[in-house]
Amino acid sequence: MSERSRLERDMIILRRAIVLQQSRKSNRPILVILVGLPGSGKSYFAARFINQIPATILESDFIRKTLLKKPTYSRHEHARVFRAIYAVAKELLDAKFNVIIDATNLNEKYRRPLHRIAEEIGANAVTVYLKTPRDVARERLIDRKLRGASISDADWSVYEMLEADFEPVREPFYE
C-alpha cells in the first residue's frame, strides 16, 4: 500500500475515532503543542486545559493504538502515526477548531511541522513544555502501570531512552 493511500485510510479511521471534545469553532484557532517526557503531566494538562479553552486533544498513544493493533514503536510506525497527527491537526485547524497535540514532541523535527501547519492555516501555535523532576515522573509511571490507568505503554526504561534523545525547546514556550 502506498504511503498516500495508507494516510487516506488512516484519516478515515481517525475521523471516526476522534471526538471533537468540547470543541467549538474559533475565528483564529489555537494549536497547543505539548512537550514533555513520559510522566510529565501532558495528558493531565490537556484534560484540564479543555475546561478553559475548548479544544480537541490529539493524543499520540490513542492514535497509535487506533491505527495499529499491536504497536511495535518502530521508526516507520512512528512516522506513520505522526503523518496522521499532522493531517488530522491540519484538517481540524482548517475547520477552525482548537487542537492540543498530546505527544512527547521531544525533537524539533516533530515540532517544526506543527508550527508550519499553524502558520499555513493562520492559527496561533503555542508550545507548552512540561518539566517534571525525574523522581516525580518515575513515581507517576510506576503508579500508572500499577493502576492500569493509561493508554500509554511508556515506563521508566522508555523515559530514560527518550530523555537521552531530548532536544531543548528553542521556540518560545510556556512552562
How many domains does the chain fold into?
1
Domain, as residue range, for 128: 3-165
Q: Which residues on adjacent β-strands are paired with residue 99?
A: 31, 56
CATH number at residue 69: 3.40.50.300
Cα(10)–Cα(67) distance, rounded to whole angstroms? 7
The total of other beta-carbon atoms located within 10 Å of residue 11's CB is 15
Q: Which residues on adjacent β-strands are paired with residue 127?
A: 33
Taking only the tens place, the pLDDT of each residue in 54-73 is: 899 999 989 998 888 887 77
Average pLDDT of the chain to the nearest whole number: 88
Q: Is residue 72, in this structure, part of any structural domain at all?
A: yes
Q: Is residue 170, in this structure, part of any structural domain at all?
A: no
Taking only the tens place, the pLDDT of each residue in 25-59 is: 778 999 999 999 999 999 999 999 988 888 999 99
Q: Is residue 56, in this structure, part of any structural domain at all?
A: yes
Q: Is residue 174, in this structure, part of any structural domain at all?
A: no
| H helices present in the chain, as ranges | 3-17, 42-52, 60-67, 75-94, 108-121, 134-147, 156-165
Flag whether pLDDT at 20 surpasses 60.
no
Q: Is residue 155, in this structure, part of any structural domain at all?
A: yes
Q: Is residue 65, in this structure, part of any structural domain at all?
A: yes
Q: Is residue 92, in this structure, part of any structural domain at all?
A: yes
Q: Is residue 172, in this structure, part of any structural domain at all?
A: no
